[in-house]
C-alpha cells in the first residue's frame, strides 16, 4: 500500500498500472489579463512538472488578490475537521440515546448534548438550510437543462434529422473512383492534411499510423504529419522507423519531432501549422495517438465543407475498443455516449456550436487562421479554438453516425488526471475569454448560451452543487436535523437524471446505480479541478499524458498493414508476444509488484458519509440512510483504489 502522507496531501503523479513513464507537463500561467506583482517570487503550486517556456523553468508571481483566493479556497479542506467533529457528535448522540434507554450517563455529557441542540437550532441550522436550498435550486436548473437536451435529442430521432452536405446527392454519396489517383474523376477530393500529435505513445503509435495511412483518399491529395513530442529516445526511434516503413510503401507521410516541447499539444499543433507546405492544403484532420479512423472517414466528413463557406469544423463521435474492459470503462462509456449522442448532437443541430473534442475532427484551415490559431494558454486548447472560431462566426457540424475508435482510461489514477484537466481547463478559458465574448459581434442569445449554459451551468455549477449538496450538505444534515433535504432531492431527481444519462446506452441499464454513485464520487475531483482552474491554482496547469494500453487486436493491426508489410507485422507481433511472455515469467519481474494507491480525500469523505449513515439510523430516515451508506461505500472503494484496472 502507498504510504499515508497526510490527510489531504496530493497523490503522487505516477499513473496506475505501471509500465512506462507518465509524462507530466506544467504549463506556464498564461493569464495576461491580471497584472502580476513581484514576478520574481516563486509561483509554487504544484510540483514535479516541466514548465513549458523556452525549455526552462519560469517563476510565476501571484498578486495579493490571488493569494487571498488561495487561502479562502483551501478552506474546503476543513472537511477533514468536520469529519472529526461528526464522529464526536455521533458519539454524543449515541450517548444521549443510551441515556434515554435508562442507562446512567455523566451529567456533563447530557448537559453538553442539550446545549449543542440549542446552539445548532439557532446558529448552525439556518445557514446550512440556506446553502442547501441554494444548491437545490442550482440542481433543479441543471436538471432542467439536462431534460431539455434530452427532449431535443428525442426530437432529432423522431424526425430523423441528420446533418447532410449542402452539395448535390451525387457528390455527397462520393462513389468509389476507378482510379483514386485521379481526383478529378467525379468526386470531391480537396487537399487534406492529417495530423497525429503524440508523446511517448509506445503502445498505440502503430495502429494510429496504420489507420491514417489507410484512409480512402487519393495519395496525391493527402499528407500525414506524425507530430512526435516524445522525450524517450527509444520511442522516438520506433515511431520514426514506423513512419519510414509507410513512406517506403507509398504513403505521403512526414515525421516531426520538437526539441523544445513548448505548450504541449497546442504548441505541437501550432508548430506543425507553421510549415511552409501547409498553405497548399485546405483542410486538416486531427487524430490523437490512440484514435483509429475507418478508411471512409474523410469521405464522410470532408464533403460537408463543399458549398458551405461558413462551416469551420466537422466533428465525429468516439467509439471505444475497451468499453467492456472493467467497471470503470463501462461507467465512462455511459458518460461519453451521453455527451456525444445528446450534448454534441443537440448543440450541433440547433445552434451549430459545440466544444471541439480535440480529435476525430476536420477543420477548415482558414477557420483556424481566422480565429488566431492554436494557443498554449490553457490545457483545453480544443475548446479554446472552438470558442474563438464561434466568436468569429464559423459554424460547426457534428456527425453522430461517423465513428472513430479510441481507448478509455482503464485505471482510476489515469481517469482522475484526465478529468482534472478536462474540468480545470474550461475555467481557465472562461477567465480568459469572458471579455472577448461580451465584446464580440455575435447575437446576444449566442453570448448568453456561451456564458450561462456552456461555461457557468455545465462547467462550474454542475461540479459545485454535485460535491457540495451530496457530499457535504447531505451528511451534515444528519447531525443538524433542523436543516433537511427532502426525499425527492436525495433519491428521485438523481435517479431520473441517471436514467436519462443511460438512455443512449440501454445495454448499460444494469449499471445505473453504480453510475449514480460513481458520478457523485468523481464530484470531488471535478470540484477541485474547477476551483483550481477558476482561481489559477498550481495544478490547473498540469498536463499528465493519459496512459494507453493498446487494446486494438493483433488481427486489426495486421489487417491495416499494406501487403508488403503484413508478413513483417506478423513476425514483429509474434516476437513482441514472445518477449512479453518471457518478461511475465521472469523471477525478477515477479518480485516487482504493483501496489494500490490511497486517495485520502475519497477516504475522508467515505468516513464522513458512513458516519452520517450511522446517525441517520437514529433519525429513522430510510432513503437518506441507504444513500449515505452506498455512497460512503463507493467513496471507500475508490479511496482504496479498488475500481478500474486490476492492481496486485
DSSP 106: -
- At residue 407, φ and ψ (nearest 5 deg) are -110, 150
Instruction: For the chain, give the longest Cα–Cα distance.
Output: 97
Q: Are 59 and 41 in contact (CB under 8 A)?
A: yes
**How are strands ordered across the β-sheet holding 542-544?**
50-51, 24-26, 542-544
Please count the other Cβ atoms lying within 10 Å of the Cβ belonging to residue 384: 26
Cα–Cα dist 298/187, whole Å:
12
Sequence-distant (6+) residues with CB within 8 A of 454 are 355
- DSSP string of 466-513? HHIIIIIIHHHHHH-TTS---HIIIIIHHHHHHHHHHTT-GGGGGGHH
Per the document, the length of the chain is 648
The catalytically annotated residue of 228, 229, 290, 641 is: 229
Cell numbers placing 399:
456527425
Active-site annotation holds for 296: no
For residue 502, give the nearest of 613, 336, 357 by alpha carbon: 336
For residue 510, give the nearest of 368, 298, 330, 271 by alpha carbon: 330
Q: Are 430 and 459 in contact (CB under 8 A)?
A: yes
Cell numbers placing 60:
510565476
Cα–Cα dist 70/543, whole Å:
21
Q: How many angstroms from the chain centroid is the CA of residue 500?
A: 20
Active-site annotation holds for 487: no
Q: Are 357 and 303 in contact (CB under 8 A)?
A: no
The catalytically annotated residue of 288, 290, 382, 641 is: 382
Please count the other Cβ atoms lying within 10 Å of the Cβ belonging to residue 1: 9
**3-class DSSP assignment, residue 580:** helix
For residue 197, give the nearest of 539, 550, 552, 545 by alpha carbon: 545
**3-class DSSP assignment, residue 640:** coil
**Alpha helix ranges (H) inside 120-182:** 125-158, 169-173
- Would you name the residues annotated as active-site residues? 229, 382
Amino acid at each position: 500500500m502507498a504510504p499515508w502522507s497526510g490527510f489531504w496531501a496530493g497523490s503522487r503523479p505516477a499513473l496506475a498500472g505501471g509500465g512506462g513513464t507518465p509524462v507530466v507537463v506544467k504549463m506556464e500561467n498564461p493569464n495576461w489579463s491580471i497584472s502580476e506583482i513581484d514576478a520574481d517570487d516563486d509561483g509554487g503550486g504544484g510540483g514535479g512538472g516541466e514548465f513549458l517556456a523556452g525549455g526552462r523553468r519560469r517563476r510565476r508571481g501571484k498578486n495579493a488578490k490571488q493569494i487571498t483566493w488561495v487561502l479562502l479556497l483551501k478552506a474546503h479542506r476543513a472537511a477533514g475537521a468536520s469529519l472529526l467533529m461528526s464522529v464526536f457528535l455521533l458519539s454524543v448522540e449515541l450517548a444521549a440515546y443510551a441515556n434515554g434507554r435508562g442507562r446512567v450517563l455523566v451529567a456533563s455529557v447530557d448537559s453538553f448534548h442539550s446545549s449543542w441542540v440549542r446552539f445548532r437550532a439557532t446558529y448552525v441550522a439556518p445557514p446550512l438550510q440556506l446553502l442547501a436550498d441554494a444548491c437545490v435550486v442550482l440542481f433543479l436548473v441543471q436538471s432542467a437543462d439536462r431534460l431539455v437536451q434530452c427532449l431535443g435529442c428525442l426530437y432529432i430521432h423522431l424526425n430523423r434529422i441528420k446533418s447532410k452536405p449542402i452539395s448535390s446527392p451525387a457528390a455527397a454519396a462520393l462513389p468509389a473512383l476507378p482510379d483514386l489517383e485521379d481526383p478529378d474523376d467525379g468526386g470531391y477530393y480537396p487537399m487534406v492534411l492529417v495530423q497525429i500529435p503524440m508523446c511517448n505513445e509506445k503502445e498505440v503509435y502503430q495502429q494510429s499510423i496504420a489507420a491514417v495511412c489507410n484512409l480512402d483518399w487519393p495519395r496525391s491529395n493527402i499528407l500525414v504529419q506524425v507530430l512526435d513530442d516524445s522525450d524517450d529516445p527509444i520511442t522516438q526511434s520506433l515511431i520514426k522507423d514506423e513512419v519510414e516503413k509507410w513512406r517506403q510503401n507509398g504513403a505521403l507521410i512526414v515525421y516531426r519531432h520538437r526539441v523544445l516541447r513548448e505548450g504541449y499539444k497546442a504548441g505541437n499543433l501550432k508548430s506543425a501549422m507553421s510549415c511552409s507546405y501547409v498553405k497548399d492544403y485546405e483542410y486538416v484532420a486531427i487524430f490523437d495517438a490512440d484514435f483509429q479512423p475507418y478508411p471512409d472517414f474523410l469521405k464522410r466528413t470532408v464533403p460537408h465543407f463543399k458549398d458551405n463557406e461558413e462551416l469551420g469544423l466537422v466533428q465525429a463521435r468516439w467509439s471505444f475498443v475497451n468499453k467492456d474492459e472493467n467497471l470503470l470503462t463501462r461507467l465512462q462509456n455511459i458518460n461519453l455516449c451521453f455527451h456525444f449522442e445528446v450534448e454534441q448532437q443537440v448543440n450541433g443541430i440547433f445552434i451549430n456550436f459545440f466544444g471541439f473534442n480535440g480529435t476525430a475532427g476536420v477543420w477548415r484551415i482558414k477557420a483556424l487562421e481566422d480565429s488566431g490559431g492554436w494557443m498554449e494558454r490553457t490545457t483545453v486548447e480544443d475548446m479554446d479554438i472552438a470558442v474563438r472560431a464561434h466568436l468569429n462566426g464559423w459554424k460547426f457540424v457534428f456527425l453522430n453516425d461517423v465513428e472513430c475508435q479510441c481507448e478509455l482510461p482503464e485505471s482510476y489514477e489515469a481517469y482522475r488526471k484526465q478529468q482534472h484537466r478536462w474540468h480545470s481547463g474550461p475555467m481557465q478559458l472562461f477567465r480568459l475569454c469572458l471579455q472577448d465574448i461580451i465584446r464580440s459581434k455575435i447575437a446576444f442569445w449566442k453570448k448568453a448560451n456561451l456564458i450561462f449554459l456552456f461555461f457557468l451551468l455545465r462547467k462550474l455549477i454542475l461540479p459545485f452543487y454535485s460535491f457540495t449538496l451530496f457530499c457535504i450538505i447531505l451528511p451534515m444534515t444528519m447531525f443538524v436535523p433542523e436543516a433537511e433535504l427532502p426525499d425527492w432531492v436525495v433519491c428521485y431527481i438523481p435517479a431520473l437524471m441517471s436514467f436519462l444519462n443511460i438512455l443512449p446506452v440501454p445495454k448499460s441499464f444494469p449499471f445505473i446505480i453504480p453510475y449514480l454513485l460513481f458520478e457523485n464520487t468523481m464530484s470531488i475531483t471535478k470540484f477541485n479541478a474547477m476551483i483550481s482552474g477558476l482561481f489559477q491554482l498550481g495544478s490547473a496547469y498540469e498536463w499528465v499524458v493519459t496512459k494507453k494500453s493498446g487494446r486494438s487486436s493483433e488481427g486489426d493491426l495486421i489487417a491495416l498493414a499494406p501487403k508488403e508489410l503484413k508478413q513483417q507485422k506478423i513476425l514483429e507481433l509474434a516476437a513482441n508476444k514472445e518477449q512479453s511472455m518471457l518478461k511475465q515469467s521472469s523471477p525478477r519481474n515477479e518480485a516487482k509488484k504493483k501496489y494500490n494507491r490511497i486517495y485520502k480525500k475519497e477516504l475522508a469523505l467515505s468516513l464522513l458519509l458512513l458516519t452520517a449513515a450511522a446517525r441517520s439510523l437514529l433519525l429513522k430516515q430510510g432513503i437518506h440512510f441507504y444513500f449515505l451508506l452506498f455512497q460512503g461505500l463507493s467513496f471507500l472503494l475508490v479511496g482504496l483504489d479498488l475500481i478500474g484496472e486490476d492492481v496486485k
